[in-house]
Structures are given as C-alpha cells and as structure tokens.
Amino acid sequence: MRNQTIPGKIDKWVNMEEFARKLGRVRYHIPKSVLVLPERQDITVHVDLTSEGKAAYAKMKRDSIVQLSRIIEEAGGIRSEKWVSAVASNGGVLFLRLLQMAQGYVYTDGGLVQQVCKAKRLALADLLEQTDEKVCVYGYFREDIEIIRRAAEGLGRRVGEISGRRKDLTETSKFPADIDVMAVQVKSGSVGIDLTAARIGIIMTTGFISPGSFDQLMARQYRPGQTKNCVYYHLVARNTIDETVIRAREKKNAVIEAVLRDAVADVSDGESLMQAVAKDVLSLWEDAPW
C-alpha cells in the first residue's frame, strides 16, 4: 500500500496470502541444495569491545534512547501504527552511528573519523594471520575498507579493493592473481563480479542491506564455478547492534522462504530491513543489547 503523501514510499504490504497463491501457479522454486556446489560453512566470531569501546558505545546508546523516545512521541506513541516507520526513517542516522561504533569508530559532525576501539581490527588481523590463502573481507562503510587495508598490510599481505572509488579486478571482473586480500565494500561488490578464486570470506559488517542483497554478495564467492569448500567468518561485536541486524535479517529470511513455499501464515511482514531492525530494537527496548 503506497503512502499517499510521500511518493514512492510503501507503508505496508496487503493481500499477501492471495499473492502467495498466485505466485505458486507460475514460479518454480529451486532450493540451493539442488545446485552442485561444494560445502559452505558459516562461523560467527564474537568480538568483545575494549573497556573504552564499551563505555563509548554505552553513552551513544543512552543518547540514542533519548532521541528515539522523542521520535516515538512525535509519531503518536508506541501504540501508534506510525512509530516503526518513523523510527526507521528518522532514526536511521542513529542506527548507522551505532553500527559504526560497533566497528570501533564513529564519524564526527565534521566528517572526521574518531577511533574508539581496535577489537574488530585485531580480530580481523588474527583471522588473516591464520591463512595464506586468498581472502575476501566485506565492509559497509568507507572506513571499514581502510581498517581492512591496514590490518592486511600490517601482515605484509597484498591488498586489493572493490568500492565506489576503485575496482581492482581483472578485465573479466575476477580476483587478480597478484592480490592476497580483497577489501569489498558491500554496495559495490554484489553484481557481475566473480571472486571464486577465494574460498574464505570475512564479514565485518553489511549494514542494513536486504537478505536478498546479502545472498547476492556472498554469491560472488559461493557460486557455480567454485570448486573448494567455502568458509565465511562473521565478525559480530557482542552486545551491540551487530547482533540486532543479524536477528532482523534472519526474521526477514523466514518471511521470504514462507512466501516461496506457500506457507503464508507469516508473510504480512513487508517492511525494510531498517524497519525490521527498528521493530526488533524497540520490542526489546531497555534490555536490548544494542
């Protein structure tokens, strides 16, 4: 259902049961298990922030709660139907700043980067040190790419980059032979790129991309043509919004699978991932770890 006052904005999805029934007549769903691919393993690596990082994150969390409370009040209170979309749209900057803080830094109002914690960088360096194979490391923000570069170069690894400013790929958009670690900015590395030369992926953060976009991103390595077993390490800062983003993505994946399989009991959730995060955050409220 489109918003009548904001062109292009969708408030909610309607008639989802009818949509699922009609989709079932014309679609043929092929599960991933049918594809002939090697094994894939996903490993969550929990990262504990330093005491300084925890203190900075806690302060930002408290400040965010105050601002979110104001946003909810202006939207008509938590019983209003508008509060989720209001928090998602107006609180987006707050969520992004919390996400940056979970990575160990924050952008100041002047656009400078303030480092507050090296925990994720050290965890990344530790994983890179354990292998001499080619590795893809995924980050969302510009500073994530710089963190990846510093960690890899500190180990003497040759670093390439796929981002909005450069693409260190072969003429056929593949992983070059003379690069050891490829730093991939999430929104620049999801389509038309073949990274099957690397079987190891490390995910620092993906931001608020949709489950479909996340799957496309992972499919740059784990795709037809990949002959080796793949391992993805997900770096998750403990007790931060990192955990909330993953939880929200899992919920949306369940909704998508429900539609594809005609299990329509829980397909009314047509919100964006940012809205899912907003709902997840505020449903837990004060005892949420974000």
Q: Tell me: the pLDDT tens digits for 248-278?
A: 787 776 655 554 454 333 434 445 666 666 6
Q: Between 286 and 86, where is the model more confident? A: 86
Q: Between 124 and 97, where is the model more confident? A: 124
In this predicted structure, which of 14-28, 119-133, 213-227 has the lowest mean pLDDT? 14-28
Overall pTM surpassing 0.85 (yes/no) = no
What angle (nearest 5°) sits at the alpha carbon of residue 43, between those of residues 35 and 193?
50
Residues of the chain with CATH 3.40.50.300: 36-48+118-237
Confidence of residue 9 (pLDDT cuts 50, 70, 90): very low
pLDDT for the residue 29:
52
* Percent of all residues in the chain with a pLDDT value above 70, rounded to a whole number: 70
Reported as a single tens digit per residue, the pLDDT across 189-227 is 666 799 999 999 999 998 877 777 888 889 999 998 899
CATH number (1.10.150.120, 3.40.50.1820, 3.40.50.300, 3.40.50.920) of 36-48+118-237 reads 3.40.50.300
The sign of the torsion formed by the CA atoms of 56, 57, 58, 63 equals: positive
Nearest CA among 114, 169, 119, 166 for reference residue 143: 114
